[in-house]
Amino acid sequence: MSGILAAIRLRERGDDVIVLEKGATVGGTWRENRYAGLTCDVPAHAYTYSFAPNPAWSRYFATGSEIQEYFEGVVDRCGVREAIRFGVEVAEAAWQNGKWHVEAKDGSRYEADVLIAATGVLHHPRYPDIKGMDTFSGQAFHSARWPDQIDLAGKRVGVIGNGSTGVQIVSALAGVAAHVDHFQRSPQWIMPVQDFAYSEEERARFRADPAAIDAIRFDPEYVGNVRRFNNAIIDPASEAMAFIESIVRQNLEASIADPVLREKLTPDYRAACKRLIYSPSYYAQVQRDDVDVVRAGIEAIEPEGVRTRDGALHGCDVIVYATGFHADRFVRPINIVGRDGIALNDVWARRPSAFLAISVPDMPNLFMLNGPTGPVGNFSLIEIAEAQWGYIAQLIQRIESGEADEISPTHAAMASYEERRIAAAKTTIFASGCSSWYLDAEGVPQSWPWSYDRFFEEMRAPELSAYDVRTHVRAPT
């Protein structure tokens, strides 16, 4: 998503742009993920580029395949497909003689004055460490490696993992598979939402009147909920957090009649400590006779299924690992080497971080979209990326105008940012006592710890005093 954005905006500026894409097509996470029940938990009309509204969305929450089609369409309508080199996975990039020298795994090489890292985070699957995984006699796969054309009707399916992906898969397979076992180490707080289809009359109105789309995109209730959620994250003692906790607890208590199942589904941590799950149907689906929530803990995987620590064998024909991604990699495993041979792997040895989630000292003219420490949660990352791009474009303009040859944050600015960010992050709800992919190896939340509004204010214009700006450094050609 963010790479498409960068390509479009750079082409509009008249820049010479090459996009290196390891996949066979565009779409990022929506290309990688094709599992049953996949939807976005941001309203479809809010999950679009500001310059490319989509009157054809079929539902309030769009399906993954529909979002993928949207990105494919934007790429073609904006004429950037010709700039993309598909099937080209970058191995390394090194700053030498005032340029980035990029080498791909296929041996191809490229040079650039500016390098944009729009690599995302949720595309390196994380598999669980469970004894006997290789002994299973049925079909097993990660949710991000969902087999095309697989038919799970009448099958016994075990789903391991209880984030948004696991919840969506279980909700979709209930009543389709013969039986679904949902294995979870800890339950999730679930925010109730209403999903619905748009009628043809509504879509015709969207086509005729862009203001009808804006009324949904900027709906005061939706915008208010986003800000309330952000305020709750950064201030766990706030009325906003108390309100959210009351909703999710009421949702659980009103939806689950069986006290035993309700106890299984009751988290022992505060709402939003893990990424809050939005689902219109999970609580209804797990009360079906053909669905079981399994909390006993997994001892091993055997040829016939999953053995839990209480000794029970849960027979499975198919096992789905909905166990997430290595969310700490960002641009890695690409080997990035900046000024004076400084490697990004070494800079990030303790934790990945970037100044304002965009750039790193000693990495001149390297700019990241949705990089480490940026806002992540139940927000539209398209909106975040567009704000970041507005900031990055101002830095690129200084390079193109000749005001600078190299731009990167100073070490002092980076150190100050990290000190303030870590202190603030430790007071957010993410640090309130649970394990999640938001936390780094030391348990510090990696997300933006301040207000949503503060992020957009920071993105208005770079403060150049925070940057190491160098000129006339390129070697003669």
Q: pLDDT for 346-369, tens place per residue?
A: 999 999 999 999 999 999 999 999
For 220-230, the pLDDT digits (tens) are 998 898 889 99
Quote the pLDDT of residue 378.
Answer: 62
Q: In angstroms, rounded to a whole number, what is the distance separating the alpha carbons of residues 98 and 95?
A: 7
Confidence class for position 174, pLDDT limits 50, 70, 90:
very high
Closest CA to 327 of 422, 430, 425, 436: 436
Quote the pLDDT of residue 475.
Answer: 52
Q: What's the mean pLDDT in 190-202?
A: 96
Q: Which residues contact 283 (CB under 8 A, 6 or more apart)?
A: 190, 251, 252, 255, 256, 265
Question: Residue 327: pLDDT above 90?
Answer: no
Question: Residue 167: pLDDT above 80?
Answer: yes
Quote the pLDDT of residue 379.
Answer: 75
Cα of 321 vs its chain's centroid, Å? 18
Quote the pLDDT of residue 463.
Answer: 97
Structure token digits, residue 297: 């803990």
Closest CA to 94 of 362, 281, 278: 362
Question: Residue 376: pLDDT above 90?
Answer: no
Closest CA to 145 of 295, 19, 16, 325: 325
| Strand extents, DSSP E, 338-429 | 366-368, 406-409
Q: What's the mean pLDDT in 28-37?
A: 95
Radius of gyration for the chain, computed over Cα atoms and rounded to the nearest angstrom: 23
Label residue 430 left, alpha or beta by phi (over 0 means left) and psi (-120 to 50 means alpha).
Answer: alpha
Alpha helix stretches (DSSP H) within 92-219: 164-173, 200-208, 210-217
Q: At what angle do helices 381-400 and 2-12 cross, to 10 degrees?
A: 40
Burial (CB count <10 Å: 0-12, 13-18, 19+), residue 354:
buried
Quote the pLDDT of residue 154.
Answer: 97
Structure token digits, residue 240: 């906003």
Average pLDDT over the chain, rounded to an integer: 95
DSSP 429-455: GGGSS---TTB-TTS-B-S--S-HHHH
Quote the pLDDT of residue 272.
Answer: 94
In contact, 33 and 212? CB cutoff 8 Å = no
Distance set, CA 93 to CA 11, 52, 130, 207, 355 (Å): 22, 32, 36, 44, 20
Q: In angstroms, rounded to a whole number, what is the distance separating the alpha carbons of residues 29 and 165?
A: 12
Q: What's the mean pLDDT in 282-294?
A: 98
For 276-287, the pLDDT digits (tens) are 999 999 999 999
429-466 core/surface letters (b: 16 or more CB in 10 A; e: else): bbbeebeebbbbeeebbbbbbbbbeebeebbeebeeeb
Quote the pLDDT of residue 477.
Answer: 47
Q: In angstroms, rounded to a whole number, what is the distance separating the alpha carbons of residues 61 and 51?
A: 20
Strands 298-302, 305-308: pairing is: antiparallel
Quote the pLDDT of residue 123.
Answer: 85
Q: For the chain, give the percent of residues with pLDDT over 90.
A: 93
Question: Residue 476: pLDDT above 90?
Answer: no
Strand partners, 336: 93
Quote the pLDDT of residue 439.
Answer: 92
Quote the pLDDT of residue 122.
Answer: 83
Q: For the chain, give the percent of residues with pLDDT over 70.
A: 99
Confidence class for position 261, pLDDT limits 50, 70, 90:
very high
Quote the pLDDT of residue 457.
Answer: 97
For 76-122, the pLDDT digits (tens) are 999 999 999 999 999 999 999 999 999 999 999 999 999 999 998 88
The terminus-to-terminus CA distance of the chain in angstroms comes to: 36
Q: At what angle do helices 220-234 and 239-255 cross, to 10 degrees?
A: 110
